[in-house]
């Protein structure tokens, strides 16, 4: 089946800088995307989502950008803090053939250094 | 508090000994799923359920069973566990949104299973 992937497996940023985590998807039928944060020893936690009828959505310190033309999704974290250190996953809605299941990327590890 | 609860959090068992991992959600969600998480492979869906008595296979269903007799519970059953089922397991639930499209999934804290 089609899959969701990430450009970079690890990302190291300095505290206070902005972080950008990228994700490529290949299923053109996908119409819903989610970013999750997973801290060590915990389950994935919802950060922000976006539907395909939008190209940008903002939350608190986070922005998700969707480029359907090139099937690319990104998560921007403003003023990155030590508490942002975690693994970040993008996920796509796989469509009706898969019961609208979510397909997850393999994750990007974000390390925030002082 | 809205949550997905899995039990147990940690389990070590022997090959072939049947086990059940329970999952319960208190948000009245229609959708529930089980995932396993392995290094380098990310989260892979095992089984999912769109509602009571409706279950279907995910990407890696071999060796697992599920049931959905009540809306809030979705147990994962390993009839004869094998070492390749050693993994971190997550249960998740979500509402069904417009046109059946899923909304964000809420995840449990995980169950770390070791089969020796």
For the stretch A16-33, pLDDT in tens is 999 999 999 888 888 889
DSSP string covering B21-43: EEEEESS--SEEEEEEEETTTEE
Q: A39 to chain B nearest CA, in Å?
A: 11
- Residue B97 three-state SS: coil
pLDDT, position A14:
96
Q: Is the pLDDT of residue B24 over 70?
A: yes
Q: Please choose, from the candidates A111, A103, A57, the residue with its C-alpha nearest in 3D space to the C-alpha of residue A87.
A: A111
pLDDT, position A85:
96
Chain B from 10 to 49: CB within 8 A of any A CB: 31, 33, 35, 40-45, 48
Range name among A29-38, A53-62, B2-11, B107-116 with the lowest pLDDT average: A29-38
Q: What angle do CA A86, A50, A25 make, to 5 degrees?
A: 75
Q: Is the pLDDT of residue B104 over 80?
A: no
Measured between CB atoms, does A89 come within 8 Å of chain B? yes
CB of A21 closer than 8 Å to CB of A37? no
Q: Is the pLDDT of residue B52 over 50?
A: yes
């Amino acid at each position: 089946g089609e899959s969701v992937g990430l450009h970079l497996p690890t990302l190291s940023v300095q505290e206070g800088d902005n972080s950008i985590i990228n994700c490529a998807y290949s299923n053109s039928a996908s119409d819903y995307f989610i970013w999750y944060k997973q801290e060590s020893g915990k389950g994935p936690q919802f950060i922000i989502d976006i539907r395909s009828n939008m190209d940008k959505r903002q939350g608190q310190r986070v922005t998700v950008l969707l480029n359907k033309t090139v099937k690319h999704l990104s998560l921007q974290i403003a003023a990155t803090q030590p508490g942002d250190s975690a693994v970040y996953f993008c996920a796509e809605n796989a469509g009706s053939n898969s019961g609208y299941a979510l397909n997850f990327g393999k994750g990007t590890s974000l390390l925030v250094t002082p | 508090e809205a949550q997905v609860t899995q039990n147990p959090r940690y389990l070590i068992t022997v090959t072939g000994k049947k086990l059940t991992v329970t999952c319960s959600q208190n948000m009245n969600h229609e959708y529930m799923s089980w995932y396993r998480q392995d290094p380098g492979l990310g989260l892979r869906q095992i089984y999912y359920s769109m509602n009571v008595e409706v279950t279907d296979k995910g990407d890696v269903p071999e060796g697992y069973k599920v049931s959905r007799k009540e809306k809030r519970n979705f147990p994962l059953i390993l009839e004869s566990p094998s070492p390749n089922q050693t993994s971190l397991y997550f249960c998740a639930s979500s509402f069904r949104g417009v046109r059946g499209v899923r909304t964000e999934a809420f995840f449990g804290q995980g169950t770390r299973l070791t089969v020796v």
